[in-house]
Structure 1
């Protein structure tokens, strides 16, 4: 048995973000799970699929580094704008949608500023994928 399918409305978190966010999967694949578009590894566009996580706390983020330096080294979180460096990984080895592997609950994305984006709640509750 697999894990619950990751669909639009899934809750995702970033290790450097202040708040969870809701994954948005555009209905281009036309494959629905429990009435919602299913996520593929390609659904990682910043501010389209993966919204802001509120405030960013990574010193690798230039705006956080600048604000922190101005505050004499006291960490100053700044607004998050994800800069994802690649697709979700690992994708499902068994389930493809539009030729792309689906996102699994264990899938992750890397942000250029050092954060790791992970699935907190997959969105589907009854449908499991492998």
Structure 2
């Protein structure tokens, strides 16, 4: 069973520059479930600006800011500001553990950006509570 994800979990994107985990998941206490004294996350905690801050730079060729920066550099691939777009929630989520009527978020979940990046969880924010 993977660990439950809580506030402060370390996340990273495959298209971020650098690709190493560089962000923290923000989980407001409105889910009303705590894990190791931190708010616990569910699969719907995927909102840019509320739960996930943009990563520093993006190198995804489908990202409009990367397209513009590459065009300005006369075709030289150029990373640009990250403005992620998540059309779907984290997947797959816990099959048996629910938080605020949604599957709990666990360390094995991923989040796909519309521009081609995949956000993964490098550290769940705690290692004591496991979910299924």
Matched residue, 1:54: 56
* Matched length: 129
Residue 92 (structure 2) aligns with: 90
Alignment TM-score, normalising by the size of structure 1: 0.94
Deviates more, 1:109-118 or 1:69-78: 69-78
Instruction: Provide the rounded CA distance (Å) in 1 between the counterparts of 2:72 and 2:56.
Output: 21
Is contact 1:47–1:82 with CA below 8 Å preserved after alignment?
Answer: no
CA distance in 1, matches of 2:49, 2:92: 21
Moved more, 100-109 or 70-79: 70-79
User: What is residue 25 of structure 1 aligned with on the other side?
Assistant: 27
Aligned position for 2:108 = 106
- Offset from partner CA, 1:70-109 (integer Å, 9 cap, x none): 2122121111121111100001001001110011111111
Q: Give the SS at the match of 2:92.
A: strand
Q: TM-score, normalised by structure 2?
A: 0.93
CA distance in structure 2 between the aligned counterparts of 1:113 and 1:36, rounded to whole angstroms = 31
What's the RMSD between the two structures over aligned residues? Answer: 1.0
Q: d(CA) in 1 for partners of 2:51 and 2:8?
A: 10
Partner of 2:76: 74
CA contact (8 A) 2:31 2:41 kept: no
The answer on whether the counterparts of 1:7 and 1:38 sit within 8 Å (CA) in structure 2 is yes
CA distance in 2: counterparts of 1:13 and 1:24, whole angstroms: 13
Name stretches of at least 5 consecutive residues in structure 1 with no aligned partner: none
